[in-house]
Structure 1
Amino acid sequence: MLSGYEIPNDPSLPHLSTALDEMEMANRFQKLLFIAEPHSKNAARVRHWVKRCQIERVKYKAGQKCLVNYLLQIQDVQTRQICQQRLSTRLFPEGESRLRFQKAQSEPLVMPPFGQAVMHLPELEMVIWSFPNDRKIGSVNSLMTLPPNQVALVKQAICDRLNAQIVNIERPELVHYVPEHTCTVRLQMTLQPLRQAAGQTRSITLFGKAYYNDEGAESWRLMQMLWESPVCQQGQLHIAQPIAYAPNERILWQMGLTGRTLLSFALDSAEFTHLLINAARSVAHLHATQLPCKRTSQLVDWLETLSHMQILLANVRPDLNERVAILVEQLVHRANELDGAPSATLHGDLHLQNLFVERAGQLVPNDVTSGDPVPTERIALIDLDNLSTGSPWRDLGSLFAGLYYRALVDDVEATYVANLMDRFCAEYAQYTPWPLDRPAIDWYTATALLGERVYRSLTRIKRARPAMVDELVARAEKLDIRQILTEAIQ
């Protein structure tokens, strides 16, 4: 069972608690894949055993469905070797899974190492897709196997963009998988510069990302424009270089960066503070860059997330209903005072995992012919799939809500986070043409605590201490009070 969090009691999904019990599901998958249960009379004849079942990701929608992604460790009892197999599953309300299973069987499928491409556990109303099969992403297998058309695309792009030819390509390595949304692989390769003597080679890393829809095409368009913009070419903003896009397969290729995310640094360290201030400059430069984004961030959409959170909270934590309703009412009322925000190019998913720290010795200047010295460290903005136009305070609110969430996880005082926010804002303000609006930033932070952090904790059934949701709500309440006090002083 997932520990450290209350599992929703949802009458429409009565088997949810079973699906979230890792030991129980290991036994069920053992029987499903290898037709034998532990301690049964057939157990001695079974060659493979599910040694471990780990839940990697949960996405829960109250009263409708739940997506659970499992990672299985499977051991060959003869060779003792252990391999992995991923299963993405959906739980449906009573009586709905059979038709869903039949529909899934009609789609193009790839046979996995064990079991079938699509399977059904009717007693749990669960439909199962064996990786690389996915309910929505049709090109996962192409991403993992690199068919000739993908190799040709990458080779031509490397020639055109890096003036080099590929000498060797290693097998793609899965690095991130969000069922029904995206799948990302790492691709190591060796290059040789064109018109150079044989033997002069270098190694690079590409990342390939498969999408379930055409959002990758928009990301590709905007990343190219951003990469070629003065702010990137002059070294004020750093992103991964876009390399190629395959529209039929919906696969985006980009250069890899070497380093680690800001999330990996201790929140209360001096190093983290220094890097966060550097990040403020990067975010400011992005915001001040005018990109023709098709996506827009509207205040009404932001308010809608609060409504969705309230509906889910009523099902999972009804004890918080009245308290949160009062807070949401106050936030909605104050939304009328947020008109007149500047228009900025937003990251759209700004949190510590999307702030990437590159170190000296790992850096490659955007313009290798400039002759400018390479900095000792820099912050790159990654995962640019949600670039949009809207209020810059929305990005800052998301980032600061993430800081408060991290502080709760790491037992860091909220006052420490408030100081980080102040220092970030002070640096940010030096690189944008508009003045700071702290009440608006506090408003977006409070709404992000509810609409993003609380909502995700509930929908993803995150592993956290039981009081986490209560603490996030309390922090949002304090930010709303701070707005009232600020307005009173003004």
Structure 2
Amino acid sequence: MINPLAQFALLLDADLMAAALQQHLPECQAGDWQVTGCEIQHPRYKTYRLAENRDRSFLSLVYHLRGRHPAETTAEQRILYARAYLGQRSQQAYTEAQANGETAIHLAELGMVGWRFPDDPAMPWLAELMDSRQIAELEQRPISTIEIVNYRPEIRCTARYRFAASETEPARVVYGKTYADERGRAVYTNLLTLQRQSVAAFVMPEALAYDAGHHTLWLEGLQGHMLTELDFTVGVAEKIPALAHALAAFHQVTPPPLLVITSQQQLKEWLKKADKLSHAYPTIQPALTGLFNELRQDCPEFEVLGLIHGDFHIDQLLVLADGRLALFDYDELAIGDPLQDLANFAADLYNYPYPVAVIDQLVQTLFTAYSAANHNQTDAQRFVWHLRGQLLTRAYRCFIQQKSAAPQRVADFIALALRPWPLAD
């Protein structure tokens, strides 16, 4: 059978899709809107190992479209969530969506089923949260804008609500994080538990409320600059010691009841990722086999468990006006090895377009500062074990997200994970 990725290639090219959607979207065919640009976010490729199941593979992704009405000069942005299928499977998926009462569209020529934001098959209440009039009535104050910060279809949507100043109240920014399930309730409870403990760690956004009717967690906005906005060789490097000390303090917080993640569980997940990568890219199968054998051989014998953030990376950090660091996104809180957080942050740095030697130095500084904050009790070999596993995870993400030059990026991450790490000496 033809490689499914070859059939999905068009859908991952932003320029080609701008033209294709202009041709096939009903509102464009009717002359009511013109697509002038396209950006692709959150592509996820679902594949199957067995050849007989390969035709069930599908691609989901989000198109952020720029455009305008032909009779107007003002540009606007629209979001289209799409799932693309092989063969004639899009017709079946569209029929099922209609049967479920979903407001979907069928782009048969592209083999796609789409949902125009805020229509979402798993979050039908999202439209209400995007209605500025309803939000203004709820808060009893005028609202100036609603901005989409991050939209992951059928999972969650984070929006920034900017409330205008009034005679009695200053301007205010509030974030609404909406989920497809009840996860927001647990995140709200956990965040309150952490905020009650006075620690010299990261600043946390204040948890304001949880709206069960809309599955939404409301958070107070914080003002500052994202850490990713700083130059790595200067700004980020200067913040690494403070970041490491704050992370060490965070790991000392008494956790609420949370899911436990063991090293053996991680090893099983890494095996699944290595297995799928081996089938997708046979040329690097020997390297993947060697990497996993090392991970299995070096798996820590003793568990060192504590509170972990679970998704700790540079995009989660904000530099406040007073220089302190704020940490966001507490969805993945768990009990696990704290070095998992440190390794997650380190592995993510290699995603950025800086020379490996520059990132290596940042990782060395990070480890040294964290170890110092931990009374020099940090196990370098255990850190390297987690780091190698996290680099394998980055390779897998390149594959399922089909980022630009995915095969080469996958190979580069695997080679990086396999090289000798001086921290382990």
The answer on 1:57 being equivalent to 2:42 is yes
CA deviation string 1:377-418 (max 9, x = no partner): 101111111111111111111111112333xx2224154234
Indicate the SS of the match to 1:73. Answer: strand
Q: Does the Cα contact within 8 Å between 2:145 and 2:163 map onto a contact in 1?
A: no
Q: Does the Cα contact within 8 Å between 2:240 and 2:366 map onto a contact in 1?
A: no
1:81 is matched by which residue type in structure 2?
T
The gaps in structure 1 that reach 5 residues or longer are 1-8, 38-44, 110-116, 156-165, 193-198, 360-375
The equivalent residue for 1:305 is 269
1:139 & 1:72 partners in 2: Cα distance? 22
Indicate the SS of the match to 1:78. Answer: coil
Q: Does the Cα contact within 8 Å between 1:240 and 1:382 map onto a contact in 2?
A: yes
The answer on 1:357 being equivalent to 2:319 is yes
1:419 & 1:207 partners in 2: Cα distance? 35
Shift of 1:124: 3.5
The equivalent residue for 1:73 is 66
The answer on 1:428 being equivalent to 2:396 is no
2:421 & 2:271 partners in 1: Cα distance? 17
The equivalent residue for 2:294 is 330
The equivalent residue for 2:18 is 26
2:251 & 2:381 partners in 1: Cα distance? 19
2:187 & 2:307 partners in 1: Cα distance? 13
Shift of 1:347: 0.5
The equivalent residue for 1:383 is 329
The answer on 1:184 being equivalent to 2:158 is yes
Indicate the SS of the match to 2:171. Answer: strand
Indicate the SS of the match to 1:128. Answer: strand
Q: Does the Cα contact within 8 Å between 2:44 and 2:400 map onto a contact in 1?
A: yes
Q: Describe how 1:204-223 pairs up with structure 2 within 5 A.
A: 204-223=172-191
The equivalent residue for 2:214 is 249
Q: Does the Cα contact within 8 Å between 1:59 and 1:459 map onto a contact in 2?
A: yes
Out of 7, 11, 16, the position equivalent to 1:15 is 7
Q: Does the Cα contact within 8 Å between 2:32 and 2:69 map onto a contact in 1?
A: yes
The gaps in structure 2 that reach 5 residues or longer are 49-56
Out of 87, 100, 107, the position equivalent to 2:93 is 100
Q: Does the Cα contact within 8 Å between 2:62 and 2:79 map onto a contact in 1?
A: yes
Q: Does the Cα contact within 8 Å between 1:306 and 1:450 map onto a contact in 2?
A: yes
Q: Describe how 1:25-424 pairs up with structure 2 within 5 A.
A: 25-34=17-26, 46-63=31-48, 64-109=57-102, 117-145=103-131, 148=134, 155=139, 167-190=141-164, 199-231=167-199, 236-269=201-234, 271-335=235-299, 338-359=300-321, 376-406=322-352, 409-413=353-357, 414-424=359-369
The equivalent residue for 1:471 is 412
1:49 & 1:191 partners in 2: Cα distance? 35
Q: Does the Cα contact within 8 Å between 1:143 and 1:251 map onto a contact in 2?
A: no
Q: Does the Cα contact within 8 Å between 1:347 and 1:395 map onto a contact in 2?
A: yes
1:301 & 1:100 partners in 2: Cα distance? 34
2:317 is matched by which residue type in structure 1?
L
Indicate the SS of the match to 1:456. Answer: helix
Cα RMSD for the two superposed structures = 2.6
1:436 is matched by which residue type in structure 2?
T
TM-score with structure 1 setting the length: 0.78
Q: Does the Cα contact within 8 Å between 2:84 and 2:113 map onto a contact in 1?
A: yes
Q: Does the Cα contact within 8 Å between 1:101 and 1:127 map onto a contact in 2?
A: yes
2:26 & 2:305 partners in 1: Cα distance? 57
- Sort the Cα spacing of 1:467 and 1:87 in 2 relative to 1 into closer, same or farther, 3 A: same
Q: Does the Cα contact within 8 Å between 1:446 and 1:479 map onto a contact in 2?
A: no
Q: Does the Cα contact within 8 Å between 1:13 and 1:94 map onto a contact in 2?
A: no
The equivalent residue for 1:42 is none
Q: Does the Cα contact within 8 Å between 2:94 and 2:106 map onto a contact in 1?
A: yes
Shift of 1:138: 2.9
Q: Does the Cα contact within 8 Å between 1:136 and 1:212 map onto a contact in 2?
A: yes
- Sort the Cα spacing of 1:403 and 1:183 in 2 relative to 1 into closer, same or farther, 3 A: same
Query: Percent of aligned pairs with the same residue?
Result: 23
- Sort the Cα spacing of 1:22 and 1:272 in 2 relative to 1 into closer, same or farther, 3 A: closer
Shift of 1:236: 4.0
Instruction: For CA contacts below 8 A with separation 6 or more, give which structure has more relative contact order.
Output: 1
- Sort the Cα spacing of 1:78 and 1:20 in 2 relative to 1 into closer, same or farther, 3 A: same
Indicate the SS of the match to 1:291. Answer: coil
Q: Does the Cα contact within 8 Å between 1:443 and 1:480 map onto a contact in 2?
A: no
Shift of 1:100: 1.6
1:331 & 1:351 partners in 2: Cα distance? 22
Q: Does the Cα contact within 8 Å between 1:182 and 1:209 map onto a contact in 2?
A: yes
Computing the radius of gyration over CA atoms, which structure comes out larger, 1 or 2? 1
Q: Does the Cα contact within 8 Å between 1:268 and 1:412 map onto a contact in 2?
A: no
Indicate the SS of the match to 1:339. Answer: coil
